[in-house]
Amino acid sequence: MFRRILPLALAAVVLLSSCSQQRLVANGARHEHPIHLGDEYTWQELTPVEVTGKAVFGIPSGIGQIDNVSSTGLIINLDGPGGFRFPKLVPLLTMIAGTFVTGAVIREGGGSYYSSQTGKVEYKLPWILSLPMAVPIWGGIQNVVYSGIASSGVTGEMERQLIQDNPNVDLFFNPRYDIQYRQGLFSQESQIKARLKGATMKPSGK
């Protein structure tokens, strides 16, 4: 059965491919409500923030150049592009399990023979050869199964950078996003570039 499913899975892959935590929170403004900044605020165009997320074999491989990939941020009421954060452990475990299953299928497909020395049926293809062959096969399949996982945590990291790079900003508004996503046979990449304005409340009495 597995020998019949594996070629179909490979064909589908080719066709479909081309512990500490930190969370920063700030305020945003919804686009459906007119923004009226009185004399108590000053505003400026903020430096654009660009974040890239990557994945290989459907396993997230890190976001940009940050030191702690578990860090994230949240700007309340900001109209963002949406996002999610998927545990890296899940695709890692499925990669290991899937590689062994695929390796077993490859061994079976390689044929077997009866060994008079051991009195058992032996496979012609040993694990040491079938497992390396299984890695790119199952990796390509998993890259399709976890399509879009390169975007995991990208939005949270973007908002974290905005808050960290602009500690004096009290309100983020008027966001513009440039979002790009690329998926290959074994890897995928998600990139988001954000341009926003920031308002800062003037000190009392000024």
Q: Mean pLDDT per 10-residue run, the chain (206 residues)? A: 54 48 47 60 90 92 54 72 78 95 91 77 87 95 92 86 90 86 90 89 72
Beta strands (DSSP E) in the chain are 22-27, 41-45, 49-56, 59-63, 71-76, 112-115, 120-123, 171-183, 187-201
Tell me how far apart the alpha carbons of residues 47 and 70 are, in angstroms, rounded to a whole number.
24
3-state secondary structure at position 75: strand
Quote the domain boundaries for residue 140.
2-201
**Residue of 186, 133, 148 lying closest to 18 (CA atoms):** 186
* Domain assignment of residue 87, yes or no: yes
Sorted by sequence, the CB contacts under 8 Å of residue 186 that are 6+ apart come out as: 56, 57, 136, 139, 140, 143
Tell me how far apart the alpha carbons of residues 168 and 133 are, in angstroms, rounded to a whole number.
54
* Domain assignment of residue 152, yes or no: yes
Residue 19 confidence (pLDDT): 38
* Domain assignment of residue 99, yes or no: yes
Sorted by sequence, the CB contacts under 8 Å of residue 113 that are 6+ apart come out as: 121, 122, 124
Residue 93 confidence (pLDDT): 94
Tell me how far apart the alpha carbons of residues 130 and 62 are, in angstroms, rounded to a whole number.
29
Residue 104 confidence (pLDDT): 93
Q: How many structural domains comprise the chain?
A: 1
* Domain assignment of residue 206, yes or no: no
